[in-house]
Amino acid sequence: MSKEHLFLRALRGEQVERPPVWLMRQAGRYLPEYMELKRKYDFFTRIRTPELATEITIQPIDIVGPDAAILFSDILVIPEAMGVEVQMIAGKGPYLPKTMQTKEDIDNLRVKDAEFDLQYVYDAIRLTKQELAGRVPLIGFAGAPFTIFCYMVEGEGSKTFSKAKSLCFAEPALAKSLLSKITDVTIAYLLKKIEAGADAIQVFDSWSGLLSPHDFMEFSFPYLQRIHDAIRSKVPVILFPKGSDYALKELNDLNPAAIGLDWTISPKKARQLAPDVTLQGNFDPSKLYMSREEIMRQTTDMIHQFGMQRYVANLGHGMMPTIPVDSVKAFIEAVKSYEEL
């Protein structure tokens, strides 16, 4: 039954009557209902308690009505399962006190069976699927190895991730051994998420845009490819290498179900560079501060430009906490009422 959903049809390249829509970070702080749970439970309690993760995942489905749910969780559960402490500092973001610097640090990481530490994620998927009862498909996700590597080496968010990048360039073999370990754990983890019921997988490479085209092919692409190869026969895969439009042709040639785009590329150019896949994106989330009329007008225009087939309407990156709920509704409404001219 869920196989008939608009979102999955668009990912498979089948004809649709309108494009499906969802928003990155659709579960989160812009929703008063989320803030209420945030006041009661800390971040890790929210993601580790299947009942809470399920409730937060379904909140946007009930309130703003996208065509897919994305499990409330975080990409940094992977370093945690590998034995690295991850803290979430209020108002600042993730903090990993022990960073990866030496061969010994990397040798000490847990790889084998690490995915079994994340049972709470699989339980949350099973419960969410049960509660969704086929209303919309459920997206599972992971960080791309390069993005996880950035946090494990840098220890915190950064505009440049210069410590992480310098490890790539100064000690490429060491960097690749860490990227490879992250990839192994991520594959085992995603296979278990799929087994638990995830209908599609998005891989977030939030920081790949910090790499040059050449370095992307060396430090990100091979690991994305390994993940894609391991799961592509099971569910549709969306690759979102933010800021790496320069690699669209190579990504297209991997033939994933879809590629996510940020707002720095025009729909026309993206179609030219990636003609064989479904495209997802790419509304600038800051545009959700415009008036309702302007949001609807520009969203409709974005769909015109992408064309409504092989397209998933979304933002070019995650929602910000201060975006008004009504603006999110306007975005979704514009997609749902879209009619081809």
Chain contacts with ligand CP3 (rule: CB under 6 A): 24-29, 38, 43, 70, 72-76, 88, 93-94, 141, 143, 157, 204, 206, 318
Nearest approach, Cβ of residue 71 and ligand CP3 (Å): 7
Nearer to ligand CP3, 256 or 285 (CB): 285
Nearest approach, Cβ of residue 116 and ligand CP3 (Å): 22
CA dihedral 331, 60, 62, 124 (to 10 degrees): 150
Nearer to ligand CP3, 154 or 308 (CB): 154
Nearer to ligand CP3, 6 or 27 (CB): 27
Nearer to ligand CP3, 43 or 263 (CB): 43
Name every residue whose Cβ is closer than 8 Å to that of residue 5 and which is 6 or more positions away in sequence. Answer: 20, 67, 68, 136, 137, 199
Query: How many whole angstroms from its chain centre is CA 153?
Result: 21
**Residue whose C-beta lies closest to ligand CP3:** 206
Nearer to ligand CP3, 241 or 256 (CB): 241
Instruction: Classify the C-alpha dihedral 50-52-55-60 as positive or negative.
Output: negative
CA distance 49 to 39: 15
User: Exposure string (b/e) for 138-158, b if CB count within 10 Å is 16 or more?
Assistant: bbbbbbbbbbbbbbbbbbbee
Nearest approach, Cβ of residue 121 and ligand CP3 (Å): 12
Nearest approach, Cβ of residue 321 and ligand CP3 (Å): 7
CA distance 197 to 54: 13
Nearest approach, Cβ of residue 103 and ligand CP3 (Å): 26
Listed residue (48, 109, 66, 75) closest to 190, CA to CA: 75
Nearer to ligand CP3, 68 or 308 (CB): 68
Nearest approach, Cβ of residue 70 and ligand CP3 (Å): 4
3-state secondary structure of 237: strand
Tell me the HSE value of 136 on the side-chain side, using a 13 A CA sphere.
21
